[in-house]
Amino acid sequence: MKAKGRVFKFGDNVDTDVIIPARYLNSTDPKELASHCMEDIDTGFIKQVKKGDIMVANKNFGCGSSREHAPLAIKAAGIDCVIAETFARIFYRNAINIGLAIIECPEAAKEIAADDEVEVDFDTGIITDVTTGKCWQGQPFPEFMQNIIRQGGLVPYINSKNKE
């Protein structure tokens, strides 16, 4: 599995309140949530983002509330993968559980620039900046989490485990 797209770049401590502000949490519809994704820090994001694009951020991405609406909004906005130095732990779990690809790689997160074309190979964990030609080895998921992702998220994983 691979992702390849244009990069939207964000900084440190991007919190779930800016990913999807609480004033929109009266909805659970991913499309509606996506239409407000990141609007409090980048009003241009949702106008410019295209299916298959990639989000790159620095440390502690997704800190704050446990709202699963945050990874749902990012995924429904068209983002195929989030690369960050580190992720806040609840966001990390939520992303795996709903099938949003994420990868930790401090060097790539620091060096990749906005608008670069980036490719991520999830089988090898290799991140390539096509624009600059630079390559990094991202942190691959532990086997257990790869199983959840392979099954398409936590619910199908549990369904298949219960059948065993």
Residue 40 one-letter amino acid: D
Q: Kindly provide the b/e burial profile for residues 57-73, where b requires at least 16 CB atoms within 10 angstroms of the residue's own CB.
A: bbbbbbbbbebbbbbbb
Residue 13 binds to other proteins (criterion: CB under 8 A): yes
Structure token digits, residue 63: 């800190």
| Residues within window 57-116 making contact with other proteins, judged by CB under 8 A | 59-60, 63-69, 71-72, 86, 88-90, 93-94, 97-98
Least distance in Å: CB of 122 to other proteins? 19
Number of residues that bind other proteins (CB under 8 A): 42
- For 34-79, the DSSP string reads HTTTTTTT-TTHHHH--TT-EEEE-SSBTBS---THHHHHHHHTT-
Residue 47 binds to other proteins (criterion: CB under 8 A): no
Query: Which of 27, 124, 137, 139 lies at the binding interface for other proteins (CB under 8 A)?
Result: 27
Residue 51 binds to other proteins (criterion: CB under 8 A): no
Which is closer to other proteins, CB of 31 or CB of 89?
89
